[in-house]
């Protein structure tokens, strides 16, 4: 026990710089990872009450240090007790603002608009065609993110317990009513109870994330990699939070953007039966089993094991598999992170994913007949070079070979939209089993910036 406490104290004193940030909101670098989450998409009526609303929200916002302190206490508790410390529960909140919302709150809207222009060149609605949000994924079908809905802020609440989430939501309801804030859409989401950590097609999610330099510990035996997480390459923090070194040149950001992060939210409805039927049909065509075919489309088995030979579930690349024999070049995880490159570093075009499934009953039961999907959330500092790049230049681009020898792969079978993927020599035509039913781009501002906006003070440039 004394040894454990000693180790704990030692680790606290050697923390990486960003681990203790009280400026960066909690879900950006540290990740909420709670079983129950709620996303509230809201619209302000008037700047004055909206600033009061923001001031009240500041009392709820949790920062990186809060999340990390809790997680550390939890790990310590688990080490001491030999099981999860049951009494240790938390409810966390983050607030993001759309560019329209920031301009509405700013006392200097023209300057603010100008500061945002390089980082938010267009809304998710304006980027719809490029992102493949067409047909039944077009903005006309979105529950949030259309221009006419004027979403100004998104409140994310995450908790270990549904009843705690409910009580926080009741307080938020009250604040909204008092201050003329309208809820455009509320999404209840959370871990699948029947298959924790798995998305609705049945595959384990949340395995591969970039490591973040100055936030995660570096492995002394393998510089450039995160300690204790083999295969996790450390990426400069400026790729995810404004104001820090990046991996490639970026437009400069106004001072008030420092410690803020761009948040992409996409409500992706999954047609699970359609996907399963297509997997079965393709398996039959190529003479394999549906289990194998499904794994080849994702690049991992349902339990998360990669198809690529690896000692650890994230410690691999595709350098020894240029023809996609082991992991098809069209597989979802290869199209969205080709890992080994000849012309780029594996530290570019990365995103931090914070998605969580939606579409379970009130008590967490799987509503087989109801609508199900993923609230996909990603953080980055360049839409063009990160989220949109992955979505468009890789996943949706039939000619992107994903580290293969150059033969066209077709589009990503999960998010590439209508199209075809070449898997095991066969051309598989994919209908669209993931439909976009809401999308927006927002900024998760630093706590200082939220304070300035709430106080109606000028933003430093």
Residues at the contact surface with ligand HEM, assessed by CB under 6 A: 199, 201, 203, 205-208, 266, 268, 270, 298, 300, 332-333, 336-337, 351, 373-374, 376, 387, 390-391, 395, 414-415, 434
Measured from the CB atom, the residue of 241 and 351 that comes closer to ligand HEM is 351
Measured from the CB atom, the residue of 172 and 307 that comes closer to ligand HEM is 307
Measured from the CB atom, the residue of 270 and 381 that comes closer to ligand HEM is 270
Q: Could you write out the DSSP letters of every residue in 229-274? A: STT-BEE-GGGTSTTS--SS------GGGTT-EEEEEEEEEE-HHH
First to last CA, the chain: 50
Residues contacting 445, CB < 8 A, separation 6+? 25, 95, 96, 97, 102, 256, 257, 260, 453
CB of 152 to ligand HEM, least distance (A): 24
Measured from the CB atom, the residue of 225 and 266 that comes closer to ligand HEM is 266
CB of 347 to ligand HEM, least distance (A): 12
Structure tokens at 291: 């289990």
How far apart are alpha carbons 407 and 410 in whole angstroms?
9
Place of tokens 């330099």: 213
CA of residue 301 relative to chain centroid, distance: 21
Maximum Cα interatomic distance, the chain, rounded to a whole number of Å: 66
Measured from the CB atom, the residue of 396 and 445 that comes closer to ligand HEM is 396
Q: Exposure pattern of 310-328 as b/e (b: 16+ CB <10 Å)?
A: eeebbebbbeebeebebbb
CB of 282 to ligand HEM, least distance (A): 17
Q: Exposure pattern of 355-369 as b/e (b: 16+ CB <10 Å)?
A: bbbbbbeeeeebeee
CB of 384 to ligand HEM, least distance (A): 13
Measured from the CB atom, the residue of 119 and 332 that comes closer to ligand HEM is 332
Number of other CB atoms surrounding residue 71 within 10 Å = 14
Residues contacting 458, CB < 8 A, separation 6+? 107, 108, 452
CB of 182 to ligand HEM, least distance (A): 28
Measured from the CB atom, the residue of 43 and 432 that comes closer to ligand HEM is 432
How far apart are alpha carbons 27 and 149 in whole angstroms?
25
For strands 234-235 and 211-212, give the pairing: parallel
CB of 61 to ligand HEM, least distance (A): 26
Measured from the CB atom, the residue of 51 and 198 that comes closer to ligand HEM is 198
């Amino acid at each position: 026990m004394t040894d454990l406490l000693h180790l704990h104290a030692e680790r606290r004193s050697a923390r990486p710089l960003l681990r203790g940030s009280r400026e960066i909101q909690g879900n950006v670098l540290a990740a909420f990872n709670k079983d129950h989450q709620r996303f509230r998409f809201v619209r302000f009526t008037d700047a004055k009450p909206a600033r009061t609303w923001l001031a009240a929200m500041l009392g709820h916002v949790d920062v990186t240090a809060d999340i990390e302190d809790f997680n550390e206490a939890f790990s310590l508790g688990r080490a001491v007790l030999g099981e999860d410390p049951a009494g240790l529960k938390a409810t966390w909140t983050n607030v993001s603002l759309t560019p329209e919302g920031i301009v509405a709150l700013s006392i200097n809207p023209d300057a603010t608009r100008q500061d945002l222009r390089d980082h938010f060149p267009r809304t998710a609605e304006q980027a719809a065609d490029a992102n493949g949000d067409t047909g039944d994924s077009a903005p006309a079908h979105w529950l949030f993110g259309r221009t006419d809905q004027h979403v100004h802020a998104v409140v994310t609440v995450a908790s270990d317990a549904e009843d705690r989430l409910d009580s926080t939501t009741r307080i938020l309801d009250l604040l909204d009513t008092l201050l003329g804030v309208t809820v455009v859409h509320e999404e209840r989401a959370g871990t699948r109870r029947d298959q924790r950590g798995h998305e609705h097609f049945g595959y384990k999610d949340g395995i591969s994330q970039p490591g973040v330099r100055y936030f995660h510990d570096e492995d002394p035996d393998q510089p450039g990699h995160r300690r204790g997480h083999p295969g996790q390459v450390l990426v400069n923090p400026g790729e995810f939070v404004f104001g820090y070194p990046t991996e490639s040149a970026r437009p400069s950001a106004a001072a008030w953007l420092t410690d803020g992060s761009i948040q992409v939210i996409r409500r992706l409805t999954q047609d699970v039966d359609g996907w399963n039927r297509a997997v079965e049909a393709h398996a039959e065509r190529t003479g394999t089993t549906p289990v194998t075919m499904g794994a080849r489309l994702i690049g991992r088995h349902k339990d998360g094991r990669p198809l690529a030979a690896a000692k650890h579930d994230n410690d691999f690349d595709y350098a020894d598999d240029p023809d996609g024999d082991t992991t098809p070049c069209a597989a979802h995880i290869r199209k969205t992170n080709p890992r080994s490159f000849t012309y780029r570093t594996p530290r570019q075009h990365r995103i931090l994913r914070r998605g969580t499934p939606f579409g379970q009953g009130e008590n967490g039961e799987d509503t087989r007949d109801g609508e199900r999907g993923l609230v996909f959330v990603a953080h980055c500092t360049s839409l063009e070079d990160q989220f949109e790049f992955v979505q468009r230049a890789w996943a949706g681009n039939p000619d992107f070979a994903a580290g293969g020898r150059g033969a066209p792969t077709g589009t990503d079978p999960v998010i590439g939209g209508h199209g075809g993927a070449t898997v095991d020599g066969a051309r598989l035509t994919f209908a669209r089993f993931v439909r976009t039913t809401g999308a927006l781009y927002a900024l998760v501002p630093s706590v200082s910036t939220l304070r300035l906006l709430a106080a109606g003070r000028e933003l430093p440039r």
